[in-house]
Protein backbone atom coordinates (compact mmCIF):
# COMPACT_ATOMS: atom_id res chain seq x y z
CA UNK A 1 0.00 0.00 0.00
CA UNK A 2 1.60 3.28 -1.14
CA UNK A 3 -0.94 5.68 0.33
CA UNK A 4 -3.99 5.45 2.56
CA UNK A 5 -6.82 7.86 1.88
CA UNK A 6 -9.77 5.87 0.60
CA UNK A 7 -11.57 2.62 1.33
CA UNK A 8 -10.32 1.29 -2.02
CA UNK A 9 -6.73 1.54 -0.68
CA UNK A 10 -7.38 -1.23 1.87
CA UNK A 11 -8.75 -3.76 -0.63
CA UNK A 12 -11.55 -6.23 0.20
CA UNK A 13 -13.18 -5.26 3.52
CA UNK A 14 -13.72 -8.84 4.69
CA UNK A 15 -9.97 -9.46 4.55
CA UNK A 16 -9.20 -6.12 6.23
CA UNK A 17 -11.64 -6.87 9.07
CA UNK A 18 -10.23 -10.36 9.54
CA UNK A 19 -6.72 -8.89 9.69
CA UNK A 20 -7.92 -6.28 12.19
CA UNK A 21 -9.28 -9.02 14.45
CA UNK A 22 -5.94 -10.85 14.22
CA UNK A 23 -3.98 -7.68 15.01
CA UNK A 24 -6.25 -6.92 17.95
CA UNK A 25 -5.84 -10.44 19.37
CA UNK A 26 -2.03 -10.56 18.94
CA UNK A 27 -0.79 -6.95 18.66
CA UNK A 28 2.89 -7.80 19.19
CA UNK A 29 3.11 -10.66 16.69
CA UNK A 30 4.77 -8.45 14.03
CA UNK A 31 7.47 -6.80 16.19
CA UNK A 32 10.18 -7.86 13.73
CA UNK A 33 8.37 -6.27 10.79
CA UNK A 34 9.03 -2.77 12.10
CA UNK A 35 12.53 -3.40 13.45
CA UNK A 36 14.88 -0.56 12.42
CA UNK A 37 12.00 1.16 10.63
CA UNK A 38 10.76 4.67 11.41
CA UNK A 39 7.47 6.45 10.91
CA UNK A 40 7.31 10.24 11.06
CA UNK A 41 3.93 11.63 12.10
CA UNK A 42 3.39 15.21 10.95
CA UNK A 43 0.70 17.26 12.67
CA UNK A 44 -0.40 20.58 11.21
CA UNK A 45 -3.37 20.45 13.64
CA UNK A 46 -4.15 19.31 17.19
CA UNK A 47 -4.87 15.69 18.08
CA UNK A 48 -5.29 13.35 21.02
CA UNK A 49 -6.46 10.00 19.60
CA UNK A 50 -4.73 10.07 16.22
CA UNK A 51 -1.39 11.04 17.67
CA UNK A 52 -1.41 8.52 20.51
CA UNK A 53 -3.01 5.63 18.61
CA UNK A 54 -0.58 6.05 15.70
CA UNK A 55 2.39 6.04 18.06
CA UNK A 56 1.03 2.98 19.89
CA UNK A 57 0.39 1.14 16.61
CA UNK A 58 3.96 1.86 15.49
CA UNK A 59 5.37 0.65 18.82
CA UNK A 60 3.28 -2.54 18.60
CA UNK A 61 4.93 -3.22 15.22
CA UNK A 62 8.41 -2.61 16.64
CA UNK A 63 8.79 0.69 14.75
CA UNK A 64 10.25 3.96 15.92
CA UNK A 65 7.75 6.83 15.82
CA UNK A 66 8.77 10.48 15.60
CA UNK A 67 6.13 13.19 15.98
CA UNK A 68 6.53 16.67 14.50
CA UNK A 69 4.07 19.42 15.36
CA UNK A 70 4.35 21.81 12.44
CA UNK A 71 4.04 25.48 13.51
CA UNK A 72 4.85 24.40 17.09
CA UNK A 73 8.13 22.49 17.12
CA UNK A 74 9.30 23.23 13.58
CA UNK A 75 9.62 26.12 11.16
CA UNK A 76 6.24 27.26 9.88
CA UNK A 77 5.76 25.66 6.49
CA UNK A 78 4.47 27.34 3.35
CA UNK A 79 2.01 25.03 1.59
CA UNK A 80 1.05 27.01 -1.53
CA UNK A 81 3.10 26.95 -4.72
CA UNK A 82 4.32 30.06 -6.50
CA UNK A 83 4.04 32.45 -3.58
CA UNK A 84 6.61 35.09 -2.65
CA UNK A 85 7.73 33.86 0.77
CA UNK A 86 7.94 37.25 2.47
CA UNK A 87 5.59 36.33 5.35
CA UNK A 88 6.02 34.36 8.56
CA UNK A 89 6.70 30.96 6.92
CA UNK A 90 10.45 30.48 6.34
CA UNK A 91 10.35 26.98 4.79
CA UNK A 92 8.36 25.48 1.89
CA UNK A 93 6.84 22.01 1.83
CA UNK A 94 8.76 21.45 -1.42
CA UNK A 95 12.04 21.20 0.54
CA UNK A 96 10.65 20.03 3.89
CA UNK A 97 8.90 16.95 2.46
CA UNK A 98 11.90 15.29 0.78
CA UNK A 99 13.98 16.04 3.88
CA UNK A 100 11.37 14.34 6.08
CA UNK A 101 11.22 11.46 3.60
CA UNK A 102 14.98 10.97 3.89
CA UNK A 103 14.66 10.35 7.65
CA UNK A 104 11.95 7.66 7.65
CA UNK A 105 10.22 4.70 6.03
CA UNK A 106 6.55 5.72 6.46
CA UNK A 107 4.84 9.09 6.89
CA UNK A 108 1.53 10.06 8.48
CA UNK A 109 0.10 13.53 7.92
CA UNK A 110 -2.67 15.46 9.65
CA UNK A 111 -3.63 18.57 7.69
CA UNK A 112 -7.21 19.68 8.21
CA UNK A 113 -9.25 21.41 5.55
CA UNK A 114 -8.85 25.18 5.86
CA UNK A 115 -12.51 25.58 4.77
CA UNK A 116 -11.67 28.72 2.76
CA UNK A 117 -10.85 27.26 -0.66
CA UNK A 118 -12.79 24.13 -1.60
CA UNK A 119 -10.53 23.44 -4.57
CA UNK A 120 -7.41 23.51 -2.37
CA UNK A 121 -8.99 21.27 0.31
CA UNK A 122 -10.73 18.83 -2.06
CA UNK A 123 -7.61 18.59 -4.22
CA UNK A 124 -5.86 17.21 -1.09
CA UNK A 125 -3.19 19.75 -1.98
CA UNK A 126 -1.01 19.19 1.08
CA UNK A 127 -1.26 15.40 1.29
CA UNK A 128 -0.68 15.02 -2.46
CA UNK A 129 2.60 16.92 -2.11
CA UNK A 130 3.73 14.48 0.60
CA UNK A 131 2.84 11.57 -1.69
CA UNK A 132 4.63 13.13 -4.65
CA UNK A 133 7.78 14.49 -3.02
CA UNK A 134 8.56 12.16 -0.07
CA UNK A 135 9.11 8.91 -1.97
CA UNK A 136 7.56 7.10 1.03
CA UNK A 137 4.13 5.56 1.76
CA UNK A 138 1.81 8.23 3.22
CA UNK A 139 -1.15 7.82 5.58
CA UNK A 140 -3.86 10.47 5.89
CA UNK A 141 -4.32 11.14 9.59
CA UNK A 142 -7.24 13.41 8.58
CA UNK A 143 -6.51 15.56 5.61
CA UNK A 144 -8.52 17.91 3.40
CA UNK A 145 -11.35 15.51 2.58
CA UNK A 146 -10.92 12.24 4.48
CA UNK A 147 -10.14 10.59 7.83
CA UNK A 148 -9.66 6.96 6.79
CA UNK A 149 -8.03 5.64 10.01
CA UNK A 150 -11.14 6.84 11.86
CA UNK A 151 -13.57 5.29 9.37
CA UNK A 152 -11.71 1.98 9.43
CA UNK A 153 -11.85 1.98 13.26
CA UNK A 154 -15.57 2.80 13.04
CA UNK A 155 -16.13 -0.15 10.73
CA UNK A 156 -14.15 -2.49 13.01
CA UNK A 157 -16.34 -1.32 15.93
CA UNK A 158 -19.58 -1.88 14.03
CA UNK A 159 -18.35 -5.33 13.03
CA UNK A 160 -17.69 -6.13 16.70
CA UNK A 161 -21.07 -4.91 17.98
CA UNK A 162 -23.49 -5.78 15.18
CA UNK A 163 -26.09 -8.45 15.84
CA UNK A 164 -27.70 -8.31 12.38
CA UNK A 165 -26.13 -9.30 9.08
CA UNK A 166 -27.02 -5.91 7.55
CA UNK A 167 -27.46 -3.36 10.35
CA UNK A 168 -29.06 0.04 9.83
CA UNK A 169 -26.43 2.72 10.36
CA UNK A 170 -27.48 6.37 10.65
CA UNK A 171 -25.02 9.21 10.18
CA UNK A 172 -26.57 12.30 11.72
CA UNK A 173 -25.45 15.93 11.59
CA UNK A 174 -25.53 17.65 15.00
CA UNK A 175 -24.95 21.28 15.98
CA UNK A 176 -21.57 22.77 16.89
CA UNK A 177 -20.43 26.34 17.62
CA UNK A 178 -17.54 26.28 15.11
CA UNK A 179 -17.26 25.39 11.43
CA UNK A 180 -15.82 21.87 11.14
CA UNK A 181 -14.45 20.01 8.09
CA UNK A 182 -16.37 17.28 6.25
CA UNK A 183 -13.52 14.72 6.43
CA UNK A 184 -15.03 12.46 9.11
CA UNK A 185 -18.53 12.22 7.57
CA UNK A 186 -17.03 11.91 4.07
CA UNK A 187 -14.93 8.90 5.09
CA UNK A 188 -17.67 7.39 7.24
CA UNK A 189 -20.09 7.54 4.30
CA UNK A 190 -17.50 6.17 1.88
CA UNK A 191 -16.61 3.21 4.13
CA UNK A 192 -20.21 2.42 5.12
CA UNK A 193 -21.25 2.51 1.47
CA UNK A 194 -18.57 -0.09 0.77
CA UNK A 195 -19.60 -2.24 3.76
CA UNK A 196 -22.63 -4.50 4.11
CA UNK A 197 -24.80 -1.99 6.03
CA UNK A 198 -27.95 0.03 5.32
CA UNK A 199 -26.64 3.61 5.47
CA UNK A 200 -28.97 6.56 6.05
CA UNK A 201 -27.60 10.10 6.29
CA UNK A 202 -29.65 12.81 7.99
CA UNK A 203 -28.95 16.54 8.16
CA UNK A 204 -30.69 19.89 7.68
CA UNK A 205 -31.01 21.01 4.05
CA UNK A 206 -27.83 22.68 2.81
CA UNK A 207 -25.53 20.17 4.55
CA UNK A 208 -25.36 17.69 1.64
CA UNK A 209 -21.91 16.12 1.46
CA UNK A 210 -19.85 15.64 -1.68
CA UNK A 211 -21.70 12.93 -3.70
CA UNK A 212 -18.39 11.19 -4.48
CA UNK A 213 -18.59 9.91 -0.85
CA UNK A 214 -22.34 9.57 -0.29
CA UNK A 215 -23.68 8.22 -3.61
CA UNK A 216 -25.81 5.17 -2.87
CA UNK A 217 -26.78 6.20 0.66
CA UNK A 218 -30.32 7.34 1.49
CA UNK A 219 -30.55 11.02 2.50
CA UNK A 220 -33.37 11.82 4.96
CA UNK A 221 -33.98 15.39 6.11
CA UNK A 222 -36.31 14.31 8.94
CA UNK A 223 -33.98 13.20 11.72
CA UNK A 224 -36.66 11.32 13.69
CA UNK A 225 -37.66 9.36 10.59
CA UNK A 226 -34.02 8.54 9.87
CA UNK A 227 -33.52 7.17 13.39
CA UNK A 228 -36.45 4.73 13.20
CA UNK A 229 -35.17 1.17 13.66
CA UNK A 230 -31.49 2.21 13.61
CA UNK A 231 -28.89 -0.20 15.01
CA UNK A 232 -26.06 2.34 15.11
CA UNK A 233 -26.24 6.14 15.38
CA UNK A 234 -23.11 8.03 14.37
CA UNK A 235 -23.23 11.71 15.26
CA UNK A 236 -20.97 14.35 13.78
CA UNK A 237 -21.04 18.02 12.96
CA UNK A 238 -19.81 19.34 9.65
CA UNK A 239 -19.95 22.67 7.87
CA UNK A 240 -21.64 23.09 4.51
CA UNK A 241 -19.98 21.61 1.42
CA UNK A 242 -22.12 23.56 -1.07
CA UNK A 243 -21.84 26.90 0.79
CA UNK A 244 -18.30 25.92 1.51
CA UNK A 245 -17.24 26.05 5.15
CA UNK A 246 -20.32 27.93 6.33
CA UNK A 247 -22.49 27.21 9.39
CA UNK A 248 -26.08 27.17 8.09
CA UNK A 249 -27.80 25.89 11.25
CA UNK A 250 -27.26 25.76 14.98
CA UNK A 251 -30.61 24.06 15.60
CA UNK A 252 -30.27 22.36 18.99
CA UNK A 253 -33.23 20.08 18.26
CA UNK A 254 -30.66 18.04 16.24
CA UNK A 255 -28.60 17.30 19.39
CA UNK A 256 -28.79 13.52 19.82
CA UNK A 257 -30.87 12.86 22.94
CA UNK A 258 -33.01 10.10 24.45
CA UNK A 259 -35.98 11.41 22.40
CA UNK A 260 -34.32 10.35 19.12
CA UNK A 261 -32.66 7.20 20.52
CA UNK A 262 -36.09 5.98 21.72
CA UNK A 263 -37.25 5.30 18.13
CA UNK A 264 -34.14 3.27 17.25
CA UNK A 265 -33.76 -0.49 17.69
CA UNK A 266 -31.84 0.11 20.94
CA UNK A 267 -29.04 1.59 18.83
CA UNK A 268 -25.45 1.96 19.84
CA UNK A 269 -24.20 5.56 19.93
CA UNK A 270 -20.93 6.40 18.17
CA UNK A 271 -18.81 9.54 17.73
CA UNK A 272 -15.19 9.94 16.64
CA UNK A 273 -14.36 12.27 19.59
CA UNK A 274 -13.59 14.89 20.73
CA UNK A 275 -17.27 15.59 21.34
CA UNK A 276 -19.01 18.64 22.78
CA UNK A 277 -21.49 17.31 25.33
CA UNK A 278 -25.01 18.70 25.18
CA UNK A 279 -24.27 20.21 21.76
CA UNK A 280 -23.66 17.06 19.69
CA UNK A 281 -25.07 14.56 22.20
CA UNK A 282 -26.74 14.75 25.59
CA UNK A 283 -25.02 13.46 28.73
CA UNK A 284 -27.81 10.88 29.05
CA UNK A 285 -26.97 9.31 25.68
CA UNK A 286 -23.17 9.43 25.80
CA UNK A 287 -23.14 8.13 29.39
CA UNK A 288 -25.64 5.35 28.63
CA UNK A 289 -24.63 1.68 28.35
CA UNK A 290 -25.34 1.89 24.58
CA UNK A 291 -22.57 4.45 24.04
CA UNK A 292 -19.53 2.77 22.48
CA UNK A 293 -17.36 5.84 21.95
CA UNK A 294 -14.52 4.50 24.13
CA UNK A 295 -14.13 1.08 22.42
CA UNK A 296 -14.48 2.96 19.12
CA UNK A 297 -11.53 5.18 20.06
CA UNK A 298 -9.57 2.15 21.28
CA UNK A 299 -9.96 0.61 17.83
CA UNK A 300 -7.98 3.52 16.38
CA UNK A 301 -4.84 1.59 17.40
CA UNK A 302 -6.07 -1.46 15.50
CA UNK A 303 -6.93 0.40 12.29
CA UNK A 304 -3.62 2.28 12.32
CA UNK A 305 -1.69 -0.92 12.98
CA UNK A 306 -3.29 -2.78 10.08
CA UNK A 307 -2.48 0.09 7.72
CA UNK A 308 1.13 0.43 8.92
CA UNK A 309 1.57 -3.36 8.80
CA UNK A 310 0.36 -3.46 5.19
CA UNK A 311 2.72 -0.63 4.28
CA UNK A 312 5.72 -2.27 5.96
CA UNK A 313 4.93 -5.52 4.16
CA UNK A 314 4.97 -3.71 0.81
CA UNK A 315 8.28 -1.86 1.30
N1 LIG B 1 -11.02 11.24 16.30
C2 LIG B 1 -9.83 11.86 16.18
O3 LIG B 1 -9.22 11.89 15.11
O4 LIG B 1 -9.38 12.39 17.35
P5 LIG B 1 -8.16 13.41 17.47
O6 LIG B 1 -8.55 14.66 16.71
O7 LIG B 1 -8.00 13.66 18.95
O8 LIG B 1 -6.96 12.80 16.88
Q: pTM surpassing 0.85?
A: yes
Whether residue 309 sits in one domain with residue 287: no
For the stretch 163-199, what's the b/e string if a residue is b when 16 or more beta carbons lie within 10 angstroms of its beta carbon? Answer: eeeebbbbbbbbbbeeebbbbbbbbbbbbbebbebbb
Residues 59, 19 share a domain: yes
Mean pLDDT score of the chain, rounded to an integer? 97
Q: How confident is the model at residue 17 (pLDDT cuts 50, 70, 90)?
A: very high
Ligand 1 center from residue 147 Cα (angstroms): 9
Does residue 290 share a domain with residue 155?
yes
Model pLDDT, residue 72:
79
Mean pLDDT, to the nearest integer, of 79-101? 95
The answer to whether 290 touches 266, Cβ cutoff 8 Å, is: yes
Ligand 1 centroid to Cα of residue 304, in Å, is: 13
Q: What is the pLDDT of residue 6?
A: 98
Nearest alpha carbon, ligand 1 atom 6: 47
Per-residue model confidence (pLDDT) at position 300? 99
List the domain range (segments joined by +) for residue 263: 151-296
Q: Nearest-CA neighbor of 124 among 182, 176, 82?
A: 182
- Please give the distance, rounded to the nearest whole angstrom, from the Cα atom of residue 82 to the centre of ligand 1: 32
Residue nearest to atom 4 of ligand 1 (CA): 49
Number of structural domains found in the chain: 2
Residue 168 has a pLDDT of 98
Distances (CA, A) of 87 to 83, 84, 90, 117, 145: 10, 8, 8, 20, 27
pLDDT value at position 277?
98
Q: Model confidence at 307, in pLDDT bands (50, 70, 90)? A: very high
pLDDT of residue 74: 85
Ligand 1 binding pocket mutation candidate from 46, 149, 237, 274 (most atoms within 8 A of CB): 274
Based on the domain organization, do 49 and 94 belong to the same domain? yes
Does residue 120 sit in the same domain as residue 14? Answer: yes
Going from the Cα of 154 to the center of ligand 1, the distance in angstroms, rounded, reads 13
55 and 106 in a common domain: yes
Q: What is the pLDDT of residue 273?
A: 98
Where is average pLDDT lowest: 67-81, 116-130, 195-209, 288-302?
Answer: 67-81
Which ligand 1 atom sits closest to the C-alpha of 53?
8
Mean pLDDT of 44-60: 98
What pLDDT band is residue 167 in, cutting at 50, 70 and 90? very high
For residue 94, the CA-to-ligand 1 centroid distance in Å is 27
Is residue 118 domain-shared with residue 193, that is, in the same domain?
Answer: no
In this structure, the answer to whether residues 52 and 81 fall within a common structural domain is: yes
Q: Verify that 101 and 188 share a domain, yes or no.
A: no
Per-residue pLDDT at 302 exceeds 90: yes
Are 140 and 155 within one domain? no
Above pLDDT 90, what percent of the chain?
97
User: How confident is the model over 202-214, as pLDDT tens digits?
Assistant: 999 999 999 999 9
User: Which domain CATH number covers 39?
Assistant: 3.40.50.1370
CB 238 within 8 A of CB 181: yes
Tens digit of pLDDT for each residue in 26-39? 999 999 999 999 99
Same domain, 84 and 102: yes
Residues 196, 275, single domain; the answer is yes
Whether 83 has a pLDDT exceeding 90, the answer reads: yes
Amino acid sequence: MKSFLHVSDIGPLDAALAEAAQVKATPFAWQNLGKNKTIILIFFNSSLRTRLSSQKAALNLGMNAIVLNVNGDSWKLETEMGVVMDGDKPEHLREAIPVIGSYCDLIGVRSFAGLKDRGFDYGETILRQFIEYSGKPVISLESGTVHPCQAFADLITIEEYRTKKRPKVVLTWAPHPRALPQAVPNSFAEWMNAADVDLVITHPEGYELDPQFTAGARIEYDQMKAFEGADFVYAKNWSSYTHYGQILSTDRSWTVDTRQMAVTDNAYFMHCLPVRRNMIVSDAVIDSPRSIVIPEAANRVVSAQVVMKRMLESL
